[in-house]
Amino acid sequence: MKHKGTKIIRTERLLLRPFRIGDAEVMFGNWANDPEVTKYLTWTPHGSVEATRALLTLWEEESKKENVYHWAIEFEGELIGDISVEAVDDRCESGVIGYCTAKKCWGKGIMTEALGAVLKYCFEEVEFHRLSAMHSAENPASGRVMEKCGLVYEGTQRDGFKLFSTGKRTDIICRAILGQDYLNK
């Protein structure tokens, strides 16, 4: 892989950029403290702007590293979500994608556009071999985003996650795409 880090990416409607500490209030208000947004995620609502600010302090520092891929998503000049490649494995040339967006932006194709841009960057510029993503079986909308971007179903982890919001266990759907499939489509 040719690590390049979190570079600015522009699409038709979006700006993907590194996070800044100054994003804390907007991030907190738009999605980080919304229980509906975090319902199927691996973290709970932040509870305070200070918690968001502390996280962004870490993210801003991490964004200086060449092997970190974590973008703030701006739509119409407003910060509305985030998308990242976690668990970057240099030996296997792979990573796991995660994302979320403000509820007011659901159903507008924004995350499909952001994910498509990240896949393009990761496969064409960084030369990842494989990227995967997972979603709760109770959140099929996230799965549709992945499908639209070419990630194929690979399996289900039965009761693979316990939701923070309800304590209920949920199946996790696993999807992935290989660089060769992306580049040859």
Per-residue pLDDT tens over the stretch 2-52: 999 999 999 999 999 999 999 999 999 999 999 999 998 888 999 999 999
pTM confidence score: 0.95
The overall average pLDDT reported for the chain is: 96
H or E segment to which residue 158 belongs: strand 152-162
Question: Is the separation of the CB atoms in 137 and 156 below 8 Å?
Answer: yes
| Opening angle at CA 112, ends 42 and 39, nearest 5 | 25
CA distances from 32 to 84, 96, 164 (A): 15, 20, 14
Per-residue pLDDT tens over the stretch 98-118: 999 999 999 999 999 999 999
Rounded Cα gap, residues 3 and 15, in angstroms: 20
Q: Is the pLDDT of residue 167 over 90?
A: no
Predicted local distance difference test score (pLDDT) of residue 139: 95
